[in-house]
Amino acid sequence: MLLAAASPVALGVLRRVLVRLGTAGLALADTPTVVIVLGPFGQSVTAANLLAGEAQGLLPEPFAGLAIGAGLRYGAPAWGFAAGWTVLSAVLIGHALRRGMPFSASWWAVTVPFGTLVPGTNALAARTALPPVVGAAVVLFAVLVLVGWWSRPPPCGRHCPTSPTRSGHRDGRSS
């Protein structure tokens, strides 16, 4: 039910992003927000496949098989769209970086939506066991970790390794 309610909302967000890209463009600092579109698609792929998995133990046949089929029939194309959008987002962000995009709060828009694509890919990989999908799940998880650490504020990168809370001492010395 929530999946059915979320899909029109996700398509509405996608429409607004595409209209904005096609008409006015984006300010350099706002370019990372194009990744927001991944959020609903990643979550819906996760939900569809996890619900299908739970249906196996709860519903009698043929309904359990229908639920699994529905999870795959929705999850595969939605994941394919999200993967394509990820490539488009990476190209747009790379272009903005070359044009001198500054660091801004919009960088945090990258981590969470991209983070929803990772469990969606994992759910699809667990459901299909196809080597390319399993490989994509591993690669996307590694990229998520790298993007998460790369997109944090630069001052945090300079101060986190010597933070007093990491060493346990207020003066930063180790034990």
* Separation CA 123–CA 125 (nearest Å): 5
pTM of the model: 0.72
Q: Is the pLDDT of residue 70 over 80?
A: yes
Share of the chain above pLDDT 70, in %: 79
Using an 8 Å Cβ cutoff, are 79 and 121 in contact?
Answer: yes
Tell me, what's the pLDDT at 173?
A: 47
Q: Check whether the bond before 60 is cis (ω within 30° of 0).
A: no
Q: Which residue has the tokens 């190209």?
A: 91
Would you put residue 100 in left (φ > 0), alpha (ψ -120 to 50) or beta? left
pLDDT tens digits, one per residue of 37-63:
888 888 888 988 888 888 888 888 888
* Separation CA 117–CA 106 (nearest Å): 18
